[in-house]
Structure 1
């Protein structure tokens, strides 16, 4: 049984997948298996994966119909046998010591989730900092994710396989965005020890692939509400609904404002909004979330919110161009 299973969903990655695979082959830690899940990629990425499988017995290739990155990762986890699991996107790369650094921290501190830093592959000095280094309580970690204060992606992390149970990928089929957030919340709920380390760069982003999901993401009402319900159920099942209530409300109201009202649309699911307003009784939060809550209560102001939100966005863009 390998120590680490590295799982890579592959879709429209023909220009990048070889370098991604080579970065795993070049690791100074060698007790790994690489599972490449060809998610119905229409290009030659699957053939490239097959060619590498012929060269190294540690590589497994799975060909499947296109169901999205989340389903591909779930299939990879089901197929894997490693004690720990790491995810890599097919257009990104690992530094040569990524696995050894993550595993060293995980073993030393007996961690269930180990988080390192990412950087642009062109300039490794530009690290992404999210948390203060050290051990984190699961509740604080989840709160930071709901507030988008840390990365909710699957990469830069090493998971003990037990924390990625069947619930980590058990979402309604209509949810096609933010599945990674849900997976990370479930993994955190299943964890006892979580550590973040800003002194190790364990992931290199490729900024050139504009097919990347995170650069083209659109969020729609019903899938978003399904995601919110699933997150709230997990928090409630683990007795954290009171501790994480305010952060959950920020996440939901921010999503409604940014993905629905900002498009000059009204919410159609009145039942969800009624439940949300009942849950948020006595909650005010920031000016932004308070405004969204007000518009949820008085939808005739949606157009005004739409005008002001887009005006604020244009103002921010002009400010950045002039002064940043």
Structure 2
């Protein structure tokens, strides 16, 4: 087997059949499918066993629930292929995805392949930003890195093909969010080149995945944002001989910070004083100052420019009021649209 496809499975009976069959029906056969049942409490485990009985390429691991990172690690350890591919159990693949990824990594003699993807939300389908098809070395990566990151090409594990021999660091099982980008950055420290495929070969379903809004509503969202930002800084320092421009990444990170603040204010489970205290801690943190060092305020959208000014002045009460007003207007507009649509 050349490719080992690792699929973490947890209570995924709604979509798991479509996911598995999209892999079994690939245009190449030299792959193994490792289904890691992470302590599912629905019928997912039985569905996995059914496919293992149906096709000898399917391997099932049943384990106690430890989270998606531990499940992926179990899959990597079990894999016998030269290449590793990850698929989420509620997503599916275009029929030629594996063939295109494999032929590209061989033809280009590269260490990593990244392709485009489709985002599916109900009946709405959108494609990721389209980069040119090319092989790039470390120097070219330094020029393209910011654009790859802000266009969400580097964050996930599922639109990629990895060389198993270059996976030196496994998933961090203590990081419950943001672990994918950390894994990818560690992997990319070991590569000399990567290939980009513009085709949208992976179909990412957001209906059943954690949405960006709910992710940003997590208690430790700012810890996650800052941890990712620091990991990117460390990677760039380690990988690139010349300092790269961080404006685009810093602005992207600051956009997440602004969303996080608005969601904090909208959180009905916290008292106003708790929210004020947290805003104060975040605005005073060294991490916030680090993001500010590389921020290009002129290119921020208007709402973020206003928050930038208020954070800079440490005007905590005004930040609270601004976010509160912004949330109120947004909710009111949503209700009006819903009313007009009835």
Return closer, same or farther for 1:261/1:28 CA change in 2, 3 Å cut-off.
Answer: closer
Q: Runs of 5+ in structure 2 lacking a partner?
A: 266-274
Say whether the 8 Å CA contact 2:10–2:40 is kept in structure 1: yes
Q: Cα 1:290–1:124, aligned 2, differ >3 Å: closer, same or farther? A: closer
* Larger CA deviation: 63-72 vs 227-236: 227-236
Partner Cα distance (1:149, 1:49) in 2 = 30
TM superposition shift of 1:123: 8.8
Corresponding residue of 2:183: 183
| Counterpart Cα distance in 1 of 2:70 and 2:242 | 27
CA pair 83-212 structure 1, distance change in 2 beyond 3 A:
same
Post-superposition offset of 1:67? 2.7
Selected match of 2:327 from 306, 310, 324: 310
Residues 28, 97 of structure 1: 8 Å contact kept: yes
The match for 1:134 is: 134
Is the Cα contact below 8 Å between 1:113 and 1:193 reproduced in 2? yes
CA distance in 2, matches of 1:92, 1:211: 9
Give the TM-score normalised by structure 2.
0.77
- Residue 159 (structure 2) aligned to one of 156, 162, 168: 156
**CA distance in 1: counterparts of 2:123 and 2:330, whole angstroms:** 29
SS of match in other structure, 1:154: coil
The CA deviation at 1:35 is: 0.9
Q: Which residue is equivalent to 1:16?
A: 15
Is the counterpart of residue 222 in structure 1 residue 223 in structure 2? yes
Deviation (angstroms), 1:29 = 0.9
Matched residue SS, 2:99: helix
- The answer to whether the 8 Å contact 2:261/2:279 transfers is yes
Partner residue in 1 for 2:208 = 211
SS state of the match for residue 78, structure 1? helix
Alpha-carbon separation, structure 1, partners of 2:330 and 2:8? 34
1:94 maps onto 2:101 in alignment: no
More off after superposition, 61-70 vs 101-110: 61-70
Does structure 1 residue 34 correspond to structure 2 residue 33? yes
Is contact 1:5–1:33 with CA below 8 Å preserved after alignment?
yes
Q: In structure 2, do the counterparts of structure 1 residues 272 and 190 end up closer, same or farther at CA, with 3 Å as the change threshold?
A: farther
Cα distance, 1:9 vs. partner?
Answer: 0.9
CA distance in 2, matches of 1:55, 1:177: 34
- Contact kept, 8 Å, 2:254 with 2:291, in 1: the verdict is no
Q: CA deviation at 1:196?
A: 1.8
- C-alpha root-mean-square deviation of aligned residues, in Å? 3.5
Paired residues of 2:251 and 2:296 also in contact (CA < 8 A): no
Q: For 2:8, what is the secondary structure of its paired residue?
A: strand
Match of 1:267 in 2: 279
Instruction: Note if contact 1:152-1:180 (Cα within 8 Å) is conserved in structure 2.
Output: yes
Find 1:277's aligned residue among 285, 289, 300: 289
